[in-house]
Amino acid sequence: MNKVAVVTGGSAGIGLAVVEGFIEEGYTAYSLDLQQGASGNWVACDVTDPDAVNRAVETVLAKEATIDALVCNAGIHFSSNIEATSEADLDRVFSINVKGAYHAIRACLPIMKATNKGSIVLLGSDQCTIAKTNSFAYNLSKHAIASMAKTTALDYAKYNIRANAVCAGTTETPLYHKAIDSYCARSGADKNEIHKEEGNLQPLGRIAQPEEIANLVVFLASDKASFITGSLHAVDGGYTAQ
């Protein structure tokens, strides 16, 4: 029987690479997203709406006997310091980045507990452990993701459910290009130069590709990582080692 993976925000970027990585490993993969991606089985879902997430998981379980892996990937980026971050901005970042993962985990835990198995992988960031300028709300949300991975791992180890976070560094995704475009529009900077500078900030001299993040996500979800839980795993080209 094929294993089943559910990925929130699986239509593009790292999420799409994760879906494709699961498919390569023989999983039946479902993407819970507002938009349909190029791969996997799409279930329309707004992760900020707990009822919508519950319905989406029910749709998966109507076709599958179990959910072996859940990847909480849906997220947005927001650049601003605390003074320039309105309460609405903060709520929006948390509703997607933090509460979206909260909703997905709560929806999938009952079937994982019933089958006494499961792996949850949360997509964090290098900002799970460090700070960056103009990143108040986003940084706060990623620290929350790190905490969620650890507490969930401890609370559900007795059910043979593992939880880990992948702390991705700067990665070339549509989200990355949107952030760079926004910065260049505000500052008048040249995008090619900014892209080059971002690469030069990494010890390996470049930013990551989505597949490089997805490789670790799929590994952590697999039985090969059966004794790994409650951990934060950096995939950042050495950035946080500096």
Q: Active-site residue numbers?
A: 138
At 233, list the tokens: 């795993």
Cα-based distances in Å from 169 to 54, 95, 184, 224, 240: 30, 22, 21, 23, 9
Q: Map residue 6 onto helix, strand or coil.
A: strand
Would you call 211 helix, strand, or coil by DSSP?
Answer: helix
Six-digit token string for 211: 């597949």
Nearest to 18 by CA among 148, 163, 168: 168
d(CA 229, CA 1): 25
